[in-house]
Chains A and B, each alone.
Chain A
């Protein structure tokens, strides 16, 4: 059976739009209709602006009619995680704190998507302030995994992954601080790319952990991910941490870069806690690459056991400071019961933030406190340097690393109530953020129960073109990305 329009890839849709077989308005209508049909079960969105999307689609059609189409994203509905600002749209971070906040300005990625002609479609659910691995920490209720509605879509960008898998958008943006793009991509059977730190501007992304956060695309195919990345990447004068990197035509590079490559298999990523079905799928992927002529090398990232501790010190320290601005003074939730300025802080924040956010703020405040800074934050930064060095050492011998994205497939809603158990979902993804590297999760099979499995490929700094080519080499030999969840 042919896919409904909204489940086609950007590449296919681009050809249809180009041939005027469909219009952007028809595409937007199809996506809206699909969303109306499935959203009650999936709950991927916090809010949607149908008239705004249709107006943008009409503008796209007008451009195309005038021969001024802007490229492969013109007229394509793209959803944004609800931590990325778009002027005139709600920006909630899935938190009570910002339940009524509307952003007066565009994030740089939003402005660039608009410039590319994309039709912005909806605000996607996530864990509150992007803190979590299951999208259960949203103040507006959890998102369901389209492959099994009783299960989580992963997180924190669960809405971005689920909306795409369910055909409610043609591509989405998420943010990845410790795996928040790659893990939900794996759990929802789509492609998710976390770019090198500094490749994509963070201006307009609500900060969780500034030195780890990156915005990146979710897409149905590696090629689509390359298309979206090309639109959003590149230096931004509004973000001091954005790098003056050359942005190649990633789609064109996919055709040019054909391998074979040297792939490293870090032994620390195949240990205890790895689901056997996930392990088996990744082993088959390794075998596939070997059969394609790639050199497969065992490597070691010896500081891997320290990643989780290091991550939770640095990320929470930065978060405790980043989230201080949510105080009820200038915008956001303000308690009605405050008696003075200090009480306003206590009550507004007590009422506005959820449990996980509070937990991380308290932890971060603690590790930065006088007398503890050296033992925690400073030490963690030193370990972080060692972790990055591990990767750079490995890259002397290999072009990329190959690992599972998540140790486990999608778990049941409410199954992991212990915060520490949830933190363990990120053990294969957080090292990448600490080292600032690019990594992509591509679908690599299904569990016997029919849940998607993700393969993680970790690349060298700013070598996204190579990384995507390696991922596409696998994708081309498999049809996982063509499978659809049974929502209809």
Chain B
């Protein structure tokens, strides 16, 4: 029998705000234990939560970016359960009225080749709600210690419909979702810092069946590749159970990315009764049209939309757009440069950014925005225009670019200093060509014997003599003219 997998993802994203979601203490990562706390975070007797509006702004913005319906009222509920990392032993969350409902995440599946665009799909969302993060338990040999620095960090839970059918789709979903959150300035989504965490609900069913199979919740998928591996592993495990005639049980399993194995945490019978009820300490907050309009105004264009626009407006190929659009700063740098060069130079700009600027970012471990401060779009545009106007030759771009990155000077100044500006005169070039032919009798013989590619052996010395000021096309033409003369002169 053929089976298909049905997967829904629950993604927790920490919202980047200055302070915590219900208190005024700073939110952050990597501080000494229990320093990002105050009476409210520690749930000291008598303390009360007060909502951080910036956190609500962020989740509404996320909802707008993903096309969700925004609830007219933000309502808070208590989710009651005992655990030492939860200071109040209840979590302030949203139960029956999430702030965002519906919406979707656009994904791109792997194409037939790396340089070919893959199929796009929209994965529908169930809901997004806002809640508070919990602290962290650290287990030692004899005891466990709790660090409440993370407790109270604003946390968004993004729940997809069970509409994914493979580990690859889940991977594409998370990649796109993460880019959207980073684009919107909502979160840095650093999985190593726990800013993005994922649980997966996985079931399998015979192809054609519409009823969902028994679902297993897979937890602790704490890197995007663990999500892919963990889901693939779980699908395989479920298939194996069914194929040997067993039955699946509804349970929560813990995936260990290091060993690639999972084990059962608890079965359905052990499920919590969270005793949700509206939090009487927090008033519902009205979200009106003005509020939404303000946030809509702050919403950036999403990567896939940008990719379509870049392809359309700048006639860029997929190989370039797929590099440019995933980094918002890089895409902004590209467009700022094109503003200066004119749209018809867009491809040259894109090529330069991908081949030089982006590589420099990688080598120096700089963000595009950081490098863009010293190598401004004006610098980049000047370089493209120097080439375009023939003031420097395209084979000088590497040298000029390297100079720009090391000295931060303008390209024109570097070209002048390096003697790369302008062209050699025709007489000079002809002399270098003659010298090169004369110096390589073997290649000359080969060329004259009909091996066309032997001509390349003359080009190196000519280019070297020209110090980058020779146009390769002109060099080729001159060599051919001279070689033709050799032939007839024979």
Q: Given A104-B44, A107-B46, A341-B144, is A370 in contact with B275 using a C-beta cutoff of 8 Å? A: yes
**In whole angstroms, how far apart are the Cα atoms of A329 and B44 in the complex?**
12
**Does B281 count as interface, using CB distance less than 8 angstroms?**
yes
B280, A324: Cβ atoms under 8 Å?
no
Which among A202, A331, A377 is the interface contact of B277 at CB below 8 angstroms?
Answer: A377
In the complex, what residue of chain B is closest to A330 when comparing beta carbons? Answer: B42
B46, A327: Cβ atoms under 8 Å?
no
A373, B277: Cβ atoms under 8 Å?
yes
**Does B219 count as interface, using CB distance less than 8 angstroms?**
no
B44, A105: Cβ atoms under 8 Å?
yes
Contact partners of A472 in chain B: CB under 8 A: none
**In whole angstroms, how far apart are the Cα atoms of A326 and B88 in the complex?**
8
**In whole angstroms, how far apart are the Cα atoms of A247 and B284 in the complex?**
24
Contact partners of A321 in chain B: CB under 8 A: 78, 80, 90, 275, 277
From residue 93 to 119 of chain A, which have CB atoms closer than 8 A to chain B? 93, 98, 101, 103-105, 107
Contact partners of A239 in chain B: CB under 8 A: 48, 50
Contact partners of A341 in chain B: CB under 8 A: 84, 144
A84, B43: Cβ atoms under 8 Å?
no
- Chain B 27-63 near chain A by CB (<8 Å), digits 1 or 0: 0000000000001001111111111000000000000
A203, B47: Cβ atoms under 8 Å?
yes
From residue 312 to 339 of chain A, which have CB atoms closer than 8 A to chain B? 317-318, 320-321, 324-327, 329-331
Contact partners of A330 in chain B: CB under 8 A: 42-43, 87, 146
A240, B283: Cβ atoms under 8 Å?
yes
In the complex, what residue of chain B is closest to A373 when comparing beta carbons? Answer: B277
In the complex, what residue of chain A is closest to B281 when comparing beta carbons? Answer: A210
Contact partners of B78 in chain A: CB under 8 A: 321
From residue 230 to 279 of chain B, which have CB atoms closer than 8 A to chain A? 273, 275-277
**Does A368 count as interface, using CB distance less than 8 angstroms?**
yes
In the complex, what residue of chain B is closest to A332 when comparing beta carbons? Answer: B45
In the complex, what residue of chain A is closest to B137 when comparing beta carbons? Answer: A341
Contact partners of B87 in chain A: CB under 8 A: 325, 330
B45, A85: Cβ atoms under 8 Å?
yes
Contact partners of B378 in chain A: CB under 8 A: none
Q: Is the interface of B mostly helix, strand, loop or mixed?
A: loop
Contact partners of A342 in chain B: CB under 8 A: 82
In the complex, what residue of chain B is closest to A206 when comparing beta carbons? Answer: B45
**In whole angstroms, how far apart are the Cα atoms of A207 and B48 in the complex?**
9
**In whole angstroms, how far apart are the Cα atoms of A101 and B44 in the complex?**
10
**In whole angstroms, how far apart are the Cα atoms of A237 and B22 in the complex?**
12
Contact partners of B275 in chain A: CB under 8 A: 320-321, 365, 368-370, 373
- Chain A 231-243 near chain B by CB (<8 Å), digits 1 or 0: 0000001111100
- Would you give the shortest CB distance from A308 to chain B, in whole angstroms? 20
A240, B50: Cβ atoms under 8 Å?
yes
B280, A211: Cβ atoms under 8 Å?
yes
**Does B282 count as interface, using CB distance less than 8 angstroms?**
yes
**In whole angstroms, how far apart are the Cα atoms of A207 and B88 in the complex?**
12
A325, B89: Cβ atoms under 8 Å?
yes
- Chain A 207-220 near chain B by CB (<8 Å), digits 1 or 0: 10111000000000
- Chain B 85-114 near chain A by CB (<8 Å), digits 1 or 0: 001111000000000000000000000000
- Would you give the shortest CB distance from B178 to chain A, in whole angstroms? 32
Contact partners of A320 in chain B: CB under 8 A: 80, 275
Total contacting residues, chain B, CB less than 8 A: 29
Contact partners of B146 in chain A: CB under 8 A: 329-330
A85, B50: Cβ atoms under 8 Å?
no
B281, A241: Cβ atoms under 8 Å?
yes
- Chain B 134-162 near chain A by CB (<8 Å), digits 1 or 0: 00000000001010000000000000000
**In whole angstroms, how far apart are the Cα atoms of A321 and B80 in the complex?**
7
A91, B277: Cβ atoms under 8 Å?
no
Q: Given A241-B283, A369-B273, is A98 in contact with B48 using a C-beta cutoff of 8 Å? A: no
Contact partners of A327 in chain B: CB under 8 A: 82, 84, 89
Q: Given A203-B48, A329-B146, A369-B273, is A324 in contact with B84 using a C-beta cutoff of 8 Å? A: no
In the complex, what residue of chain A is closest to B43 when comparing beta carbons? Answer: A325
**In whole angstroms, how far apart are the Cα atoms of A83 and B44 in the complex?**
12
B47, B51, B144, B283: residue with the most chain A Cβ atoms closer than 10 Å: B47
**In whole angstroms, how far apart are the Cα atoms of A205 and B275 in the complex?**
24
A103, B90: Cβ atoms under 8 Å?
no
**In whole angstroms, how far apart are the Cα atoms of A204 and B45 in the complex?**
7
From residue 147 to 189 of chain A, which have CB atoms closer than 8 A to chain B? none
- Would you give the shortest CB distance from A84 to chain B, in whole angstroms? 7
B45, A105: Cβ atoms under 8 Å?
no
Contact partners of B80 in chain A: CB under 8 A: 320-321, 324, 368
Contact partners of A93 in chain B: CB under 8 A: 45
B281, A85: Cβ atoms under 8 Å?
no
**Does A345 count as interface, using CB distance less than 8 angstroms?**
yes
**In whole angstroms, how far apart are the Cα atoms of A327 and B146 in the complex?**
14
**In whole angstroms, how far apart are the Cα atoms of A172 and B250 in the complex?**
57
**In whole angstroms, how far apart are the Cα atoms of A239 and B51 in the complex?**
10
**In whole angstroms, how far apart are the Cα atoms of A370 and B95 in the complex?**
13
- Would you give the shortest CB distance from A137 to chain B, in whole angstroms? 17
A98, A205, A240, A368: residue with the most chain B Cβ atoms closer than 10 Å: A240
Q: Given A318-B280, A329-B146, A345-B82, is A237 in contact with B50 using a C-beta cutoff of 8 Å? A: yes
- Chain A 334-353 near chain B by CB (<8 Å), digits 1 or 0: 00000001100100000000
Q: Given A203-B47, A239-B48, is A324 in contact with B277 using a C-beta cutoff of 8 Å? A: no
- Would you give the shortest CB distance from B480 to chain A, in whole angstroms? 82
**In whole angstroms, how far apart are the Cα atoms of A139 and B275 in the complex?**
29
**In whole angstroms, how far apart are the Cα atoms of A104 and B38 in the complex?**
10
Which among B39, B48, B90, B273 is the interface contact of A104 at CB below 8 angstroms?
Answer: B39
B46, A207: Cβ atoms under 8 Å?
yes
Contact partners of A107 in chain B: CB under 8 A: 46
From residue 401 to 421 of chain B, which have CB atoms closer than 8 A to chain A? none
B277, A203: Cβ atoms under 8 Å?
no
Which among B47, B51, B144 is the interface contact of A240 at CB below 8 angstroms?
Answer: B51
**In whole angstroms, how far apart are the Cα atoms of A330 and B83 in the complex?**
12
B45, A91: Cβ atoms under 8 Å?
yes
In the complex, what residue of chain A is closest to B76 when comparing beta carbons? Answer: A240
Contact partners of B39 in chain A: CB under 8 A: 104-105
- Would you give the shortest CB distance from B23 to chain A, in whole angstroms? 9
- Would you give the shortest CB distance from A9 to chain B, in whole angstroms? 30
In the complex, what residue of chain B is closest to A93 when comparing beta carbons? Answer: B45
**In whole angstroms, how far apart are the Cα atoms of A284 and B90 in the complex?**
50
- Would you give the shortest CB distance from B93 to chain A, in whole angstroms? 13
A237, A324, A341, A377: residue with the most chain B Cβ atoms closer than 10 Å: A324
Binding site for B on A (CB under 8 A): 83-85, 91, 93, 98, 101, 103-105, 107, 202-207, 209-211, 237-241, 317-318, 320-321, 324-327, 329-331, 341-342, 345, 365, 368-370, 373, 377
Given A93-B45, A101-B45, A240-B281, 14 further pairs, Cβ under 8 A = A104-B39, A104-B44, A105-B44, A107-B46, A202-B48, A210-B280, A240-B49, A241-B280, A321-B277, A324-B82, A324-B88, A324-B90, A341-B84, A342-B82
11 pairs, A vs B, C-beta closer than 8 Å: A91-B45, A98-B45, A103-B44, A205-B46, A210-B281, A239-B50, A324-B90, A325-B45, A326-B45, A341-B144, A368-B277
**Ranked 5 nearest A-B pairs via Cβ:** A324-B89, A211-B280, A210-B280, A368-B275, A204-B46
